[in-house]
């Protein structure tokens, strides 16, 4: 119970409303987790040694900026565990997505060990905590909870209710409770005199400001937890539609106990891994079994539990600490892109999780598909578009996926036919290519369009629609013949001047038009900007691996884009990319320097397989680029000078990126098969075999 509050006394109002502006947290997560059950609609993320965003009741609704502990001796020091400790993260069970953070005070005074599970039976997060005093006298421990409920950080109100800290914003409420109870608790406004941490910094005690309530603002809640020199207790963070429901959830979770929740949580993940195919030989022989298991579990964890089949790109907000959270709704990467979903689904197929791949296709056709046959650039989970552009590879990939799954019945074909017609009528140039920034003729987009049309033709043939089949094949054949004419320059400034461009504005790759990059990368001769997107022509069976234009493009691409890191070779998306940290390592806010993408190492590995070579180096490099939580990032640092980062390791971009995790899984299975399983057979048969 909360002590020190007179019986019947009303809580006082916290001063300082509404507090300072709010923000999200770094995109560099070291751990993610959720129960495998559908009853528990909570997902948590870990980074910087603490709890980061928590999602509820859907994967597109973040509710927490962070939660951590504050330690003080009550006299001389008060410090945040995030800032004052050396940090470790471990996976106690390699077959469960259960993470443990171990934070040790740099001055050797204490250690905090936290293990996280979401309760399989309800929407609650449990944090099993051991607090050890290693040196010196007694210490006080406080929980510091910074909610950002319902997707925003400025509309939360909070109070203390029967020993529990409760908060709410619209249709989302949270409740924080402890198995040890709270010795004192208060709600206030971040960065003001009523902020519990500010109070502790000033007086090294919270007792002067206990039991305050806060109206809507940037809420922060603080509570003292009774501890000794070696104490173990559990925090429960429950969620619900209102405060009463959230409090009931938190209390029920504590009543059942951490051990019960942990057993159910682990069993769920054990059963999932047992339900998919065995670990590939290429993984086992290289000692990468845990990396593979975490990739498989992480991909499953990125699926929503209300909108089934909606796998988000990442449970993260890239460079979130620089993203204002005052108002709803920051998109981050907790949205659904048809392209990323296609890659997740193909990885699921490779693992033997055909049910997940089929749910992904159901989501694409039932939620994202539009009447004209197109798909939006990306959407919230309910299908509402977030960014408004169109990318024609995202129209093609659902057709390819349906064909690979054998989902070619009347219901599917009625929609996929519209999508194929849309590609014919609107391609091959695209309003945006796969990096979502430029319009024009893109080798990677054209590869997807061709694969989509050839697979659509095969489905049309199955339905006896031979006229449509002929139309799709005639278009695909023409584009396959002309892709070099549209995108392969013979007058470029790099190497011998002959290579695929990243994108061409008008289908004349030798006219040297200006290409202005839409991320602060500047304006350049379009012939000077290269990427490895032409390798999609090989992966999708449109061109053979030894096609002369492909071979001619590799030297220029590698010269401009490849960096040998301590973890192995990495590639930039394209030269002059501005999507990444600034030169000094500051977060990306519209201009920066693009860093290396591990998924491109995997894509190069698939090319090596198609060429008959080994991709072992590429698989191992991807694994080494993962962080200590086995999560593979969107980007890794590209130079020896650190600026706060480590050469070849993750940046503040999205971690984990589902596409990166999918690429690792796909590459491993392709290595075992000796061929690229994601290459549509009908496309390869037509053009390369």
pLDDT per residue over 462-500, tens digit each? Answer: 999 999 999 999 999 999 999 999 999 999 999 999 999
Average of per-residue pLDDT values in the chain: 96
Q: In Å, how far are 252, 343, 375, 455, 473 from 339, measured between CA atoms?
A: 40, 7, 10, 17, 23
6 — pLDDT class (breaks 50, 70, 90): very low
The arithmetic mean of pLDDT across residues 81-89, rounded, is: 97
Q: Exposed/middle/buried for 181, CB within 10 Å: 0-12, 13-18, 19+?
A: middle
Please state the separation of Cα 670 from the chain's center in Å: 23
Q: What does the CA dihedral 655, 656, 660, 664 come to, rounded to 10 degrees?
A: 130
Distance (Å, whole) CA 218 – CA 154: 4
Q: What is the predicted pLDDT for the residue at 413?
A: 98
Distance (Å, whole) CA 415 – CA 578: 37
Question: What three-state secondary structure class fits 52?
Answer: strand
Closest CA to 48 of 73, 30, 62: 30
The arithmetic mean of pLDDT across residues 110-118, rounded, is: 98
Q: What is the predicted pLDDT for the residue at 607?
A: 98
Closest CA to 43 of 316, 370, 268: 316
Question: What three-state secondary structure class fits 46?
Answer: strand
DSSP for residue 6? P
Position 640 pLDDT exceeds 60: yes
Position 368 pLDDT exceeds 50: yes
Q: What is the predicted pLDDT for the residue at 353?
A: 98
Distance (Å, whole) CA 587 – CA 579: 10
Distance (Å, whole) CA 449 – CA 451: 5
Question: What three-state secondary structure class fits 129?
Answer: strand
| Helix (H) / strand (E) containing 413 | helix 410-426
| Contact of 499 with 530, CB cutoff 8 Å | yes
Q: What does the CA dihedral 455, 460, 466, 468 come to, rounded to 10 degrees?
A: -80
Quick one: tokens of 521? Answer: 């990368």
Identify any residues that bridge with 224 across adjacent strands, giving them in sequence order. 142, 184
Looking up tokens 């504050």 gives 70
The arithmetic mean of pLDDT across residues 24-36, rounded, is: 97
Distance (Å, whole) CA 633 – CA 654: 6
Quick one: tokens of 37? Answer: 């059950």
Distance (Å, whole) CA 294 – CA 74: 41
Instruction: Give tens-digit pLDDT for 566-594.
Output: 999 999 999 999 999 999 999 999 999 99
Strand 488-489 and strand 164-169: the pairing is unpaired
| Contact of 619 with 601, CB cutoff 8 Å | no
Range with the lowest mean pLDDT among 108-122, 196-210, 612-626?
Answer: 196-210
| Contact of 173 with 103, CB cutoff 8 Å | no
| Contact of 45 with 316, CB cutoff 8 Å | yes
Q: What is the predicted pLDDT for the residue at 626?
A: 98
Q: Helix 616-625 to helix 658-673 angle, to the nearest 10 degrees?
A: 150
Q: Helix 598-610 to helix 616-625 angle, to the nearest 10 degrees?
A: 170
Position 412 pLDDT exceeds 80: yes
Distance (Å, whole) CA 187 – CA 194: 8
Distance (Å, whole) CA 514 – CA 508: 12
7 — pLDDT class (breaks 50, 70, 90): very low
The arithmetic mean of pLDDT across residues 327-333, rounded, is: 93
The arithmetic mean of pLDDT across residues 171-180, rounded, is: 98
| Helix (H) / strand (E) containing 143 | strand 140-147
DSSP for residue 355? H
How many CB atoms within 10 Å of residue 93?
15
Closest CA to 153 of 65, 38, 266, 212: 65
Strand 64-72 and strand 140-147: the pairing is antiparallel
Q: What is the predicted pLDDT for the residue at 207?
A: 60
The arithmetic mean of pLDDT across residues 507-531, rounded, is: 96
| Contact of 511 with 502, CB cutoff 8 Å | no
DSSP for residue 526? G
Q: What is the predicted pLDDT for the residue at 470?
A: 98
Instruction: Give tens-digit pLDDT for 666-680.
Output: 999 999 999 999 999
CA angle 76/81/87 to nearest 5° reads 130
CA angle 158/204/198 to nearest 5° reads 45
| Contact of 333 with 654, CB cutoff 8 Å | yes
Distance (Å, whole) CA 146 – CA 158: 11
Q: Helix 392-405 to helix 338-351 angle, to the nearest 10 degrees?
A: 20
Peptide bond into 57 cis (omega under 30): yes
Q: What is the predicted pLDDT for the residue at 3?
A: 41
Confidence (pTM): 0.96
Q: What is the predicted pLDDT for the residue at 642?
A: 80
Helix spans in 517-645 (H):
535-539, 548-561, 598-610, 616-625
Which residues are tagged catalytic?
433, 436
Question: What three-state secondary structure class fits 334?
Answer: coil
Question: What three-state secondary structure class fits 524?
Answer: strand
Q: What is the predicted pLDDT for the residue at 630?
A: 98
Instruction: Spell 557-596 as b/e; 16+ CB within 10 A means b.
Output: bbebbbbebebbbbbbbbbbbbbbbeeebebbeeebbbbb
DSSP for residue 596? B
Position 1 pLDDT exceeds 50: no
| Contact of 113 with 130, CB cutoff 8 Å | yes
Max Cα distance, the chain (Å): 84
Quick one: tokens of 318? Answer: 């890239």
| Contact of 344 with 678, CB cutoff 8 Å | no
Distance (Å, whole) CA 590 – CA 444: 25
10 — pLDDT class (breaks 50, 70, 90): low
Distance (Å, whole) CA 458 – CA 466: 9
Q: From its phi and psi, is residue 67 left (phi > 0), alpha (psi between -120 and 50) or beta?
A: beta
Peptide bond into 656 cis (omega under 30): yes
């Amino acid at each position: 119970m909360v002590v020190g509050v007179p019986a019947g006394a009303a809580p006082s109002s916290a001063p300082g409303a509404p507090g300072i502006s709010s923000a999200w947290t770094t995109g560099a997560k070291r751990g993610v987790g959720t129960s495998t059950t559908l009853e528990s609609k909570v997902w948590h993320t870990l980074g910087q040694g603490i709890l980061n965003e928590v999602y509820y009741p859907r994967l597109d609704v973040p509710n927490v900026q962070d939660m951590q502990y504050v330690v003080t001796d009550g006299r001389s020091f008060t410090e945040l565990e995030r800032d004052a400790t050396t940090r470790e993260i471990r996976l106690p069970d390699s077959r469960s997505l259960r993470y443990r953070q171990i934070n040790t005070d740099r001055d050797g005074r204490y250690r905090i060990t936290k293990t996280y599970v979401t309760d399989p039976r309800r929407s609650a997060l449990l944090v099993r905590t051991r607090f050890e005093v290693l040196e010196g006298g007694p210490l006080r421990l406080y929980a510091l909870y910074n909610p950002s409920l319902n997707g925003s950080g400025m509309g939360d109100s909070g109070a203390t209710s029967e020993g529990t800290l409760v908060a709410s914003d619209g249709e989302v409420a949270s409740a924080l409770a402890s198995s040890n109870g709270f010795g004192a608790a208060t709600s206030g406004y971040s960065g003001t005199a009523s902020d519990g941490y500010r109070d502790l910094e000033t007086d090294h005690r919270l007792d002067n400001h206990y039991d305050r309530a806060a109206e809507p603002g940037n809420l922060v809640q603080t509570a003292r937890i009774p501890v000794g020199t070696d104490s173990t207790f559990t925090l429960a963070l429950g969620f619900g539609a209102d405060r009463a429901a959230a409090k009931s959830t938190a209390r029920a979770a504590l009543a059942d106990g951490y051990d019960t929740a942990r057993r159910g949580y682990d069993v769920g993940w054990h059963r999932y891994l047992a339900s998919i195919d065995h670990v590939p030989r290429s993984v086992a022989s290289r000692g990468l079994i845990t990396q593979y298991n975490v990739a498989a579990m992480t991909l499953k964890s990125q699926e929503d539990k209300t909108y089934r089949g909606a796998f988000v790109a990442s449970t993260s907000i890239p460079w979130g600490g620089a993203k204002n959270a005052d108002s709803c709704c920051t998109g981050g990467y907790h949205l659904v892109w048809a392209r990323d979903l296609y890659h997740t689904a193909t990885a699921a197929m490779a693992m033997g999780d055909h049910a997940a791949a089929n749910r992904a296709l159901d989501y694409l056709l039932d939620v994202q598909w539009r009447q004209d046959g197109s798909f939006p650039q990306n959407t919230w989970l309910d299908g509402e578009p977030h960014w408004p552009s169109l990318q024609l590879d995202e129209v093609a990939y659902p057709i390819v996926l349906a064909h690979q799954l054998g989902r070619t019945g009347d219901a599917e074909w009625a929609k996929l036919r519209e999508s194929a017609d849309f590609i014919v009528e609107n391609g091959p140039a695209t309003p945006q290519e796969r990096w979502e920034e430029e319009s024009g003729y893109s080798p990677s987009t054209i590869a997807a369009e061709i694969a989509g049309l050839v697979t659509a033709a095969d489905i049309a043939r199955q339905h006896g629609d031979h006229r449509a089949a002929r139309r799709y094949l005639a278009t695909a054949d023409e584009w396959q013949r002309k892709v070099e004419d549209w995108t392969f320059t013979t007058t470029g400034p790099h190497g011998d001047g002959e290579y695929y461009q990243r994108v061409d504005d008008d289908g004349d790759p030798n006219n040297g038009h200006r290409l202005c990059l839409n991320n602060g990368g500047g304006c350049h001769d379009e012939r000077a900007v290269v990427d490895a997107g032409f390798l999609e022509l090989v992966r999708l069976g449109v061109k053979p691996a030894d096609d002369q234009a492909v071979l001619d493009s590799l030297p220029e691409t590698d010269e401009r884009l490849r960096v040998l890191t301590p973890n192995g070779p990495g590639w930039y998306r394209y030269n002059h990319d501005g999507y990444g940290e600034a030169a000094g390592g500051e977060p990306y806010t519209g201009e920066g320097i693009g860093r290396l993408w591990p998924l491109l190492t995997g894509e190069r590995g698939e090319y090596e397989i198609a060429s008959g070579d080994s991709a072992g180096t590429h698989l191992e490099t991807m694994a080494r680029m993962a962080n200590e939580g086995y999560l593979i990032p969107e980007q890794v640092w590209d130079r020896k000078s650190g600026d706060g980062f480590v050469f070849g390791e993750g940046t503040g971009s999205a971690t984990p990126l589902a596409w990166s995790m999918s690429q690792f899984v796909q590459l491993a299975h392709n290595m075992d098969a000796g061929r690229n399983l994601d290459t549509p057979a009908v496309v390869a048969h037509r053009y390369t075999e």
